[in-house]
């Protein structure tokens, strides 16, 4: 059954277009794969027709609509994560602290959702290389907000150490490198202490007897 009220094909939100189209099929009680196939084909723009020409030339005998839909989504559709990734393309840390950068990225998401692991990767990618090296050994299950607050503290200390040494030894590059390495080592030690503290908080308070034995040891 041909329809006359099919919505215009949406190349930016192909998945949502199919959802809308299938709702219309349901209202009109169109269940035939062949009918659905024909209704989709008649509204496809030339660029999409080129992408699925092989299917149009040799229409599948089994589930033609489903095969066509899957091909269109795979070949021309864009994953939600790809679209969200683009939201952060032009965001840089600038003068923001790591936690401010994280809040900025979350606000850019608006009503969209993103897996915490992906957001963590995008956020870390915008941090200085030195900080990335410090973050490397941290487990992925560390809460992102707590991690950002801890990195604020570490970044501040690192900036103070580097700036202070530049004033003292402006021309002594080997000395600056050595001092920077020491600063990173010190900060890594501090980060380890922070991780232990976060781990203790997540486990909750120790039993009184265990705490007493720990103090005696």
| Cβ pair 172, 144 in contact under 8 A | no
Number of domains in the chain: 2
pLDDT band at 60, cuts 50/70/90? very high
Work out the angle between the directed axes of helices 14-27 and 64-75 (0-180°, nearest 10): 160
Q: Give the pLDDT confidence score for residue 152 in this predicted structure.
A: 85
Q: Give the pLDDT confidence score for residue 213 in this predicted structure.
A: 45
Q: Which two tokens stand for residue 158?
A: 């690192």
Q: What are phi and psi of 41, to 5 degrees?
A: -60, -40
pLDDT band at 170, cuts 50/70/90? very low
* 9 in a structural domain: no
Q: Tell the burial category of 138 from Cβ atoms under 10 Å away from its Cβ (0-12, 13-18, 19+).
A: middle
* 217 in a structural domain: no
Return the higher-pLDDT residue of 52 and 216: 52
| Cβ pair 129, 162 in contact under 8 A | no
Mean pLDDT of the chain: 76
Return the higher-pLDDT residue of 165 and 199: 199
pLDDT tens for 8-58 read: 998 878 888 999 999 999 999 999 999 999 999 999 999 999 999 999 999
pTM summary value: 0.44
* 128 in a structural domain: yes
**Domain span at residue 21?**
14-75
Q: Are residues 49 and 93 in the same domain?
A: no
Q: Are residues 153 and 179 in the same domain?
A: yes
Domain limit, last residue, from 23, 52, 75: 75
């Amino acid at each position: 059954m041909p329809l006359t009220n099919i919505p215009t094909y949406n190349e930016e939100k192909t998945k949502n277009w199919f959802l809308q189209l299938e709702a219309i099929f349901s209202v009109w009680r169109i269940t035939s794969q062949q009918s659905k196939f024909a209704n989709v084909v008649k509204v496809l723009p030339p660029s999409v027709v080129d992408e699925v020409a092989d299917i149009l030339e040799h229409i599948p005998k089994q589930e033609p609509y489903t095969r066509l839909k899957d091909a269109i989504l795979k070949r021309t559709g864009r994953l939600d994560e790809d679209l969200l990734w683009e939201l952060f393309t032009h965001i840089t840390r600038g003068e923001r602290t790591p936690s401010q950068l994280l809040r900025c990225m979350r606000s850019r998401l608006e009503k969209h959702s993103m897996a915490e692991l992906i957001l963590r990767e995008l956020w870390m990618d915008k941090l200085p290389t030195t900080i990335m090296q410090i973050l490397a050994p941290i487990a992925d299950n560390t809460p992102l907000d707590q991690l950002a607050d801890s990195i604020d503290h570490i970044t501040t200390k690192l900036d103070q150490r580097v700036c202070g040494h530049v004033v003292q030894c402006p021309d002594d590059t080997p000395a600056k490198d050595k001092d920077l390495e020491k600063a990173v080592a010190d900060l890594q030690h501090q980060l380890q202490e922070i991780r232990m503290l976060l781990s203790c908080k997540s486990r909750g308070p120790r039993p009184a007897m265990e705490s007493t034995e720990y103090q005696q040891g």
